[in-house]
Amino acid sequence: MHRVASESGLRPGQLLGVEAGGQRICLARVDDGTVYAVSDICTHEEVSLSEGEIWERSVQCPQHGSLFDLATGAVTGLPAQVPLQTFPVKVDGGSIYVETE
């Protein structure tokens, strides 16, 4: 697992772009405090999802509004059609870790 951020650096409702294992990852913390990690690049256009917004448990692409479920990576709003890759997340000792292998 790769340490990618401090827990205090990711507030509920916030997205954060990080790098782990040579991959760009979008961290998302939803209102209940759960942290998710998905690929940071929208599958519709090469746009950073960490520049977007959280809508309930989905991340919205800032370019064309595609929505992706943060837990599964599934497309929940068009125009994207290809799901995102998701990554296991562990929060421990004030740090956030992501598994990329």
Backbone φ, ψ for residue 90 (5° rounding): -130, 130
pLDDT of residue 101: 80
8 A C-beta contact, residue 29 and residue 10: yes
| Beta strand extents in 13-101 (DSSP E only) | 14-20, 23-29, 35-39, 53-55, 58-60, 67-69, 75-77, 86-87, 89-92, 95-98
- pLDDT confidence bin for 12, thresholds 50/70/90: very high
Alpha carbons 53 and 80: distance in angstroms, whole number: 16
Please tell me the predicted confidence (pLDDT) of residue 14: 97
Percentage above 90 pLDDT, the chain: 96
Max Cα separation, the chain? 39
CATH no., domain 2-98: 2.102.10.10
- Tell me the domain boundaries of the chain: 2-98
| Overall average pLDDT of the 73-95 stretch | 97
| This prediction's pTM | 0.94
